[in-house]
Structure 1
Amino acid sequence: MQAYNNDLTAFFNMLDKPIEVSALDEDAIRRMILFPMGQLRVTFSDPDALVSRIYQETSGLPIYVQHYCKILLDYLDANKRSILNVDDIAVVYSNLGFRYSIVETFEGNNGLLERIIVYALFAEDERGIRDRIKEDRITALLRKQNLNLRSGSLTRACRNLVRAEVLKDEGKGTFRIAVPLLRHALHESTNVDYTLRRMIEEFKIDPRYSDDWISASAANRERI
């Protein structure tokens, strides 16, 4: 299975040269997973369930699918196996390199306000972030952290998160988390609540963001 390091195989291009493209549909992800692995003589106990699970967890983002495939291939190779089961996906979650890569990509691609929004969402229970997320819910979560954003600033930050493929735009000011595994990676890598508080403190004292938020008393006056 080390053929994915061989530039004469289809898997080399998929894993060693990451493809920076937007999310693909499930059929494309199916071809991306099953065909190259099949060339390496990997068989699947339940290919439909495997593809569906990887697609849901990565939201069809090729860079993450590539990581899944490489980690799973390494796992099979290390254990001298050729049959891949759906439950084997658990090995991906414990891969420190992948976890740190996800966090570093997120931190590097998003500004302070965008990161605050995501941390505020992930500070909630996991079940809550599986639902559609409206802007007013994000506003309420931030107010719990004593941060009152101006409406335009929140909308702009959410659009930035959509462009960064952290959120999916469901229309009418409603969003979904694009990559659920980001929550797991952040919780395993840092204290989310503590980091959120520190970022909000930094946000409030940074003059670059002074027009993006208002004091609690001013927010109360606006709501009256």
Structure 2
Amino acid sequence: MGKEYPPLLEFLSEKLEYRLLSGKSALGYTLYYLDLSSWRLRLSDWTPVVHIQRSDLTNVSPRQLLQSLQDVVRERGWQRRIVLVLVDGDSSALRSALRSPLQTLAFVGEEEQREILRSRRPSGQLLDILSAQVPISILAPYNTTSPVTGSCFFDREYEVAKILGNPDVSYAVLGVRRIGKTSLMREVERRLREESTAAEADDTPHIVFLDCSDLLEREALVEQIVRRLNPRELPRLSMQNYAFFFPDFLERMSRKYKSKLIFLLDEIDDLIVLHGGDWDFFRTLRAASNKGVCQYVVAGFREAQSQLHNLDSPFYNFAEEIRLSEFTREHARELIVTPMQNLGIRFKNESDIVSQIYEETAGHPNLIQFYCTILVRQLELTGQRELSPESLMSVYADEVFKNHLLRSFMDNTQNREKAVVYAILQKRADRPMAGFTQADMDAALREQGLVIAHGPLNTACDVLVLAGILRARGAEYFFTSPVFVRVLQQTYNLRYLMDKVKEEGL
């Protein structure tokens, strides 16, 4: 390998082909980065490794050494990462000195390293050592509140490969809130940067990710792009009209970096609404794409979808659609089972558990992760390591889950879609999971004194399907999740909700 590594790291890299990088030293410790993403846990593609050599243990108490390690963590910004510590000696005193319920340092002593090297399941043995020290709720990859990448990114491989494999095509990623648009964008960004960067470097300024929900003014967006690509030109931007400066700037930056500029523009809907038909800025971006200067990957929902089919919009025929839908049963199983098994969690009637979670979440990845988060938390509280179908009762009783389920529905629908749901559930309170047609919807709405024309009703159905509330089978529609229906019926007075929709208007 051209450099002497600790025996365990050399074995993992040479024999088991884990990716390994040397890092810059910190406070006298040698650092490495090990790719443990294949474990599908909250271990990054560059998990930090600190090597504690025998000389580091001399004349230093475990408490002092631990303080030093914690300073390394602070210096490197690793507070939210799991750090592997290889100790050329006994690590038991260090473990005893670290008494934190949120422990993210995992120690592997000298004898343990030898055992791993002798083991017939070395990866499994190392994972056992980690999971014995780090709480399973921290090791588990499930995340319901923020975007995920790397080892925590599940499924969507087809979509990622499509974007990465076609640099001459721009894409529009469409989907409801919490379906995984931002995670997909961040994963694409990560893999693009990974092609030319190391764990501690960033030499890919031509890749620009922007959250457009925070940049609603054209000037703010242009300023951020200039700041990312070449901040020295910000004074020129303030002195010139952007219409003259910006197109030339993009072409010059493409030549400067000898690469096509790649823009990942997330949450673009609000930006589209704000411009309200004043398309000069978007036409500038499109012109740069047509010249081969830029590739765009944008993400949105209603407005982005609408403008892609608007003949008068610069978005028309500009980007290829990628619609994010729910997970397949097999992908849901991978998300549920693989991390759990790697954490040493056993399944009693695995197929029943997976089927029940899949059917009740309709394959929505965020809801699946909510189920898994609650299950892992329950196991940690009880100290058990086995799941059964009865374990799912803890999910149904979780108030945070109920609130999340209802909030997702409220956030992803407008009054027209809400009216359809409320009308059907009032009409069919005794058999909500039975199929119904658009004619049934129309009849239920008319009983409520509401008339929705066929076109808008059809659009409402499309949105409800895209949002995972309904699924279509031929001319019939079905509610996808019995849990959603039950929680909605038990939590709210549907007649009151319908009255509020009427009051606010469709």
Query: What interval of TM-score do these two structures reach, taking the shorter chain for normalisation?
Result: 0.7 to 0.9
Residue 149 of structure 1 deviates from its aligned partner by: 2.2
Corresponding residue number in structure 1 for 2:366: 63
CA 1:72–1:124 in structure 2 vs 1: closer, same or farther (change >3 Å)? farther
Question: What whole-Å deviation, never above 9, does each CA across 1:150-170 have from its counterpart, x for those lacking one?
Answer: 222211211121222221122
**Distance (Å, rounded) in 2 between the aligned partners of 1:57 and 1:97:** 16
**Equivalent residue letter for 2:395:** V
Q: What's 1:74 paired with?
A: 377
Equivalents in 1 of 2:352, 2:463: separation in Å? 32
Matched residue, 1:122: 425
Judge which range, 130-139 or 19-28, deviates more.
19-28
Please name the residue that 1:15 is paired with: 143
Corresponding residue of 1:206: none
Work out the CA distance in 1 between the residues paired with 2:442 and 2:495.
17
| Aligned with 1:134 (options 437, 442, 450) | 437
What are the residue-to-residue correspondences of 1:1-224 with 2, within 5 Å? 2-6=135-139, 11-12=140-141, 14-15=142-143, 17=147, 20=180, 21-125=324-428, 128-172=431-475, 174-203=476-505, 209=506
Q: Which moved more, 1:139-148 or 1:31-40?
A: 139-148
SS of residue paired to 1:175: strand
What is the deviation of 1:126?
Answer: 5.5
Report the RMSD for the aligned CA atoms in angstroms.
Answer: 2.0
Q: What letter is aligned with 1:186?
A: L
- Read off the aligned partner of 2:335 and give its amino acid letter: M
- 1:182 CA displacement: 1.7
Worse-matched range after superposition: 187-196 or 118-127: 118-127
The TM-score normalised by the length of structure 1 is 0.80
* Closer/same/farther in 2, CA of residues 44 and 106 from structure 1, 3 Å limit: same
Paired residue for 2:54?
Answer: none
Per-residue deviation at 1:28?
A: 1.5
Structure 2 length-normalised TM: 0.37
Give the residue type in structure 1 aligned to 2:482: P
The CA distance in 2 between the partners of 1:165 and 1:99, in whole Å, is 16
Alpha-carbon contact 1:58-1:64 (below 8 Å) kept: yes
SS at match of 2:351: helix
Q: Shift of residue 36 of structure 1?
A: 0.5
- CA distance in structure 1 between the partners assigned to 2:137 and 2:382 by the alignment: 17
Q: Per the alignment, in what secondary structure is the counterpart of residue 449 of structure 2?
A: coil
Equivalent pair of 1:100/1:185 in contact (CA under 8 Å): no
1:43-90 CA-partner distances (Å, limit 9, x unpaired): 111101101111111111111110000101111211221111101112
Whether contact under 8 Å (2:432, 2:485) holds in the other structure is no
Q: Which amino acid aligns with 1:5?
A: I
Corresponding residue for 2:195?
A: none
In the alignment, is the contact (CA less than 8 A) between 2:375 and 2:394 conserved in 1?
A: yes
Q: State the distance in 2 between where 1:86 and 1:78 align.
A: 18
**Residue of structure 2 equivalent to 1:216:** none
Amino acid in structure 1 at the alignment position of 2:341: G
Please tell me the residue identity of whatever aligns with 2:329. Answer: E
User: Match for residue 53 of structure 2?
Assistant: none
The amino acid that maps onto 2:382 is N
Select the structure of larger CA radius of gyration. Answer: 2
- Cα distance 1:24–1:131, how it changes in 2: closer, same or farther (>3 A)? same
Residue type of the alignment partner of 1:49:
D
Moved more, 161-170 or 111-120: 161-170
Structure 1's consecutive aligned runs of 4 or more residues displaced over 3 angstroms after TM superposition are 16-19, 124-127
Alpha-carbon separation, structure 2, partners of 1:82 and 1:195: 42
Partners of 1:43 and 1:147 in 2: CA distance: 51
Distance 2:138 2:425 in 1: 36
Note the C-alpha offset of 1:34. 1.1
